Structures are given as structure tokens and as C-alpha cells.
Amino acid sequence: MRFNYLTSISVAALLAAGAAQAEPLKVGVLATLEGTYTVLGEDGVRGLKTALAEWKDTAGGREIELVIGSTDASPDSAVRAARKLVEQDGVEIVIGPLSGSEGIAIRDYSKTQPGVTFLNGISGAQETTYVTPSDNFFRFNTDGAQWSTGLGDYVFNEKGYETVATVGEDYSFIYTQVFGFALEYCAAGGEITERFWVPLGTKDFGSIIAALPDDVDAIYLGLGGGDAVNFLNQYQQAGGEANLIGGSIMVDGTVLSSKGSAKDALIGVPSSGPQADTWDDEKWQTYVKSYQDTFPPDQRFPSPSLLATGYYNATTAAMSCLEQVEGDLSDGQAAFRSCLTDLTLEAPNGTIKLDQNRQAIGSNFVTEVVELDDGTLANKLVKKVDDVNQTLGIEPEKFASIGLPSRDVPVCKKSY
């Protein structure tokens, strides 16, 4: 009898404790921690951890338990990692992936897992949210074409580059970047003479550098990670002197912080993307400080790359909505999702809202690479464009008639 009494009290105590401390929430992370984009993935995870540190790892009374899945920028590696996170580890929210074609694959996978909410990390292919969007896939970052906003106009009118050749990695994200650049640049009156596409992970650019035309005003580079560093290194060795224009991840912190002198070829190069490192906005500076405080100097970049910012924003969005629904993910996460859909995220890189496809509408920045006093390279703000939507301000029907980004879409012409 006495024994029974003790047991009931213990059970009651346990139940009470359980009610006060809801069980931890498993969140899966997809990031490229292998291959060409390793550094990019690492900084993405740093961005995510910065956001978690700000929230002290809890939202809506639930502690966050991270499960990290490593990918290598290929769609199948992303799906494999996502399946492991969802089907084996049982995560309820997935944050990621990082790379363009991974995003498209994860969008398709998310349709088979309606019980899980996916928040895109920073992948930027247009198709991911533009074609057959998935109900449980949210993207709080603008896409590659939106990241090109302002650049075409700037290089044509301010820099005076009238003809351009492009070099890019042969996959969806760079197609999207060149798509955005070409639309604006050609509308301004510029001409794209040639487009070179190289496989992702190309290490020896010797022959491609030789094949670049020498009668153009500038060369647009849509490369990232190790490919970008290798290109710049070999470009310097070949004595290349053309004007360069950078794609968003070509002049990102990941390349600007690489070891060696290859990156010096980028000083003065104009580019555009979802952030400008030296922006003096208060919210941006607070975020940079928070990133710097979360990690010791030798384990991070001087300031967060756009990949860190993407993961930071996705995580912040997830955390604020978890807080709002008090950690309640019942009923197929309905409350959580409707919170995400209506969220206006006051992000460090400008205000972000979602459109009907759950795709971000946000600010874009035209930048130029400068050398700071301490010898590091950074992107200096040239111009900020607000409220850039996925159709780049073009009417939806007209935008659809241009076609989806690919090797030779869009055709370079003044108007559509």
C-alpha cells in the first residue's frame, strides 16, 4: 500500500515536470559540408547557430535539438540526407538546403512528407518556388535572379560595359543568376556575346580562360567556392586583364576569405546579392556583431557570408513562429505554417515577406569589392533596391513568356 502511494506520487511528479518542460523539438539541417561548397555550408551552419544562440536554443518553451545532414551540392545527396533526417531521426522541421539544384530536389521531396515543414537554407534556383511550389516548403531568401537586380543597370550605365561574356557553373542556380542579370542588362542596352558553362567542380580553367573573347568590355563570372578560387588563381597566372563582374557567390565572404593571393583579382569588381558587408544599417551591424560574438575569430569569417545570413533568417523565422504558437506543432503544423505564411521578417538584410508561392520578397544590394584597413576584402554598398519580387517587377504573364532560366534563356534583347 505504502509502495503504491509512493509510486503514484512519483508518477504525478514526473507528469508535472513533463508538462512544465515540453519535450525537445528535433530540427534537421541540410548543408553542403562536403565537396566544392564545403566552406559555404560551414558558414551556413554558423548563421543558423548564431540565430539559435540569440534564442538560447529554445522557442515556445521547447528546446531545439539539432540534427545536421551533410550534402555535396548534388540533388541526390540532398534527398538522401533529408530522408535520413525525416525518416530515421524523425525531425519535424528541416532547415536547408544550400545549393540551387538541391533546393529543387528538396521541394519535390517535401511533397512526399506533408507532416514536416521545410524552410529553405539559402538555395536560389528560380524553379524551386516558381514551378509547382510545395505547400510545406518556405523560402525566406530571394532567388538568384532577384539577387541580380540592379547589377545589369549599374554595369551598363555607370561602368559603361557595353558587351559582356559570361562564365558560369552549369546548374540551376547560376542559370537563375545569369537570367536576372541578362534581363536587366540587355534591357538597358547591353549585349551578351557568349555564354560559357562549365561543370560544377571544375578545377582547371586554363583552356576556358584562353577561350574567353578579348573583344568584350567585361566578363561576368558565375562561379562559387573552390571553382571561383581556382578560376581567379589561373586567371592571374594567365595574365588576364579584362574587367570582371561577379555573381553573388563569386564575391561572397567565402571566396573573399580564401587563403592566398587569388582573391586579389576581385578588388573593385561590381556585383550584387542579398547583402552588403559594410552596410551601416543598425540591424545589420547588430547581426554582424552577434555572428562575431558567437564564434571565435579563427572559426569564422570577418563578417557573415550571404549563406550564413540565409540560414540565420530561415532559423529566425522558424523560431519566432515556434514562439508564437508556443511550440505547438499539432494538427499537421497548421498554426506554425500559417504563422510562417503571414510573417513579416525584420531581417538584418531588410524586410522580408512571402508571396503566394511562399517565396521571399526582399531587398537587394549592388556592391563593389573593396580592401578594408585591416587587409581583408569586403563588399561595399553601392545601391539598395527594395521589395524585389520573384518576377522582378515584370507582370506575371509577361514573365512566364520569357521561359525558365537555362543555358540560353533568356535571349538577350531589349524588351519582352
Partner 1 sequence: MRQFVDRHPIWSIVLFVVAAILLWMIFAVWPDWLKDLIGRKKVFLNALFNGITLGGLYFLVASGFTLIFGLMRNVNLAHGSLYLLGGYIGFMTAEITGFWLLAFPVAFIVVGALGVLLQIFVFRRMEGQDLRQTLVTIGISIVMADLMLWAWGGDFYNITPPDWLSGPMSTFFVTSVKRSGELVYLKYPFVRIVIFAASIVVGVGMWLLLNRTRIGMLIRAGVDDRDMLSATGARIQLVFVAVFAFGAGLAGVAGVVGGTFQSVAPGEDVRFLLASLVVVIVGGMGSISGAAIGALLIGLAEQFGSVYFPTYAVVLTFLIMVVVLAFRPQGLMGRS
Cβ atoms < 10 Å from Cβ of 80? 17
What's the number of CA atoms in the CB half-sphere (13 Å) around residue 278? 16
| DSSP structural state of residue 158 | I
CB of 186 to partner 1, least distance (A): 23
CB of 259 to partner 1, least distance (A): 5
Among 189, 206, 268, 393, binds partner 1 (CB under 8 A): 206
Radius of gyration in angstroms for the set of CA atoms belonging to the chain, rounded to a whole number: 22
Q: Which of residues 66-125 bind partner 1 (CB under 8 A)?
A: 72
CB of 190 to partner 1, least distance (A): 24
Query: What's at 211, amino acid-wise?
Result: A
Among 41, 150, 180, 270, binds partner 1 (CB under 8 A): 41
Is there binding between residue 328 and partner 1 (CB under 8 A)? no
Secondary structure of residue 69 in the 3-state scheme = strand
Contact 168, 178 (CB under 8 A): yes
CB of 99 to partner 1, least distance (A): 14
The whole-angstrom separation of Cα 277 and Cα 284 is 9
Contact region with partner 1 (CB under 8 A), list: 96-104, 222-230, 303-311, 387-395 = 222-230
Would you put residue 189 in left (φ > 0), alpha (ψ -120 to 50) or beta? left
Is there binding between residue 230 and partner 1 (CB under 8 A)? yes
Contact region with partner 1 (CB under 8 A), list: 92-100, 137-145, 226-234, 337-345 = 226-234
Contact 140, 95 (CB under 8 A): no
CB of 145 to partner 1, least distance (A): 23
CA angle (83 as vertex; 55, 143 as ends), nearest 5: 60
CB of 401 to partner 1, least distance (A): 27
Whichever of 208 and 394 has its CB closer to partner 1, that residue is 208
What residues form DSSP beta bridges with 137? 118
Burial class, 191, CB count within 10 angstroms (exposed 0-12 / middle 13-18 / buried 19+): middle
Size of the site for partner 1 (CB under 8 A): 43
Q: Which of residues 42-61 bind partner 1 (CB under 8 A)?
A: 42
CB of 13 to partner 1, least distance (A): 44
Is there binding between residue 267 and partner 1 (CB under 8 A)? no
- Dihedral over Cα of 201, 231, 213, 169: its sign: positive
Among 25, 26, 30, 38, binds partner 1 (CB under 8 A): 38
Contact 62, 25 (CB under 8 A): yes
Q: Which residue has the cell 515556434?
A: 322
Whichever of 110 and 234 has its CB closer to partner 1, that residue is 234
Among 27, 29, 35, 266, binds partner 1 (CB under 8 A): 35
Nearest partner of 29 among 144, 114, 119, judged by Cα: 119
Query: What's at 342, amino acid-wise?
Result: D
Whichever of 306 and 385 has its CB closer to partner 1, that residue is 306
The whole-angstrom separation of Cα 234 and Cα 253 is 20
CB of 321 to partner 1, least distance (A): 31
Among 4, 19, 210, 375, binds partner 1 (CB under 8 A): 210
Q: Which of residues 150-179 bind partner 1 (CB under 8 A)?
A: 170
**Could you list the residues that contact partner 1 (CB under 8 A)?**
33-36, 38-39, 41-42, 72, 170, 196-199, 201-211, 225-226, 229-230, 233-234, 236-239, 255, 257-262, 299
